[in-house]
Amino acid sequence: MRLRGLLWLNAISSVLPAALLGSATVEGRVELPKSRSAPVQAKRYEIVTKGGVLSTQPPLAVVYLDGAFPRPASLPTKEVTQKDLTFIPALLPIEAGTKVEFPNLDDTYHNIFSYSPAKRFDLGRYRPEERPIPSVIFDKPGLVTLRCDIHEHMRGLILVLNTPYFVMTDTAGRFRLDKLPPGHYTLKAWIDSRTTKEKAVDVKNGQTLHVDFP
């Protein structure tokens, strides 16, 4: 009977998201680059290029737990909308295998494409009422740069990760990752297309670990 119970628990562990099986927390702060934005500004972000480096403006970071985690049977669909000739959100972190839809909310055509090694695609020109909504499955980890063939100023980023444990910082660089499984991992902070900081962490069940990235 005990063996049967262990086998049942192992079977459940292989299909349930790991987030349901852990209770550890990692929180802290990432030191972000200085913002060039005005102090009073709505929460609107864009992707800027400086010296060939892509980053969000105002600055944000993506913090994630790097390790060997079981793959889920399915993942929720995400969205990157086109509104007022911008991508919203400007930066979207997702787990590898996620389907992303690209709804057009502008009163004009868009043509979203990417030449990034992690995912090359071209959705072609489509209207706001296009159905089904054009979509792409991002199955390879890496940074994907989004562009529009019609509106050359438009830029967006999708950060594809091999982990279900990730979070965006706030504008002060603060982050909190909950429901983590115990173990020894590498905690990483993606800041821009050329800067990813990392620290080794020991995550313990029921504990909150504080980690800063100076």
For residue range 166-184, list pLDDT tens digits in order. Answer: 999 999 999 999 999 999 9
* Predicted pLDDT at 35: 74
**Domain ranges for the chain:** 70-162
Nearest 5°: phi and psi at 180? -90, 145
For the chain, percent of residues with pLDDT exceeding 90: 81
Mean pLDDT, range 71-78, rounded to an integer: 94
pLDDT score recorded for residue 37 = 55
Query: Does residue 192 have a pLDDT over 70?
Result: yes
Q: What architecture (CATH level 2) is domain 70-162?
A: Sandwich (2.60)
pLDDT at 36: 63
Return the minimum-mean-pLDDT range out of 19-28, 66-75, 121-130, 135-144: 19-28
Which one has a higher pLDDT value, 38 or 203?
A: 203
Model confidence at 40, pLDDT cuts 50, 70, 90, reads very low
Q: Report residue 20's pLDDT band, with 50, 70 and 90 as the boundaries.
A: very low
Give pLDDT tens digits for 53-74: 999 999 999 999 998 899 888 9
**88 CB-contact burial (10 Å; exposed 0-12 / middle 13-18 / buried 19+):** middle
Q: What is the mean pLDDT of residues 98-124?
A: 98
Mean pLDDT of the chain: 89
Instruction: Report pTM.
Output: 0.87
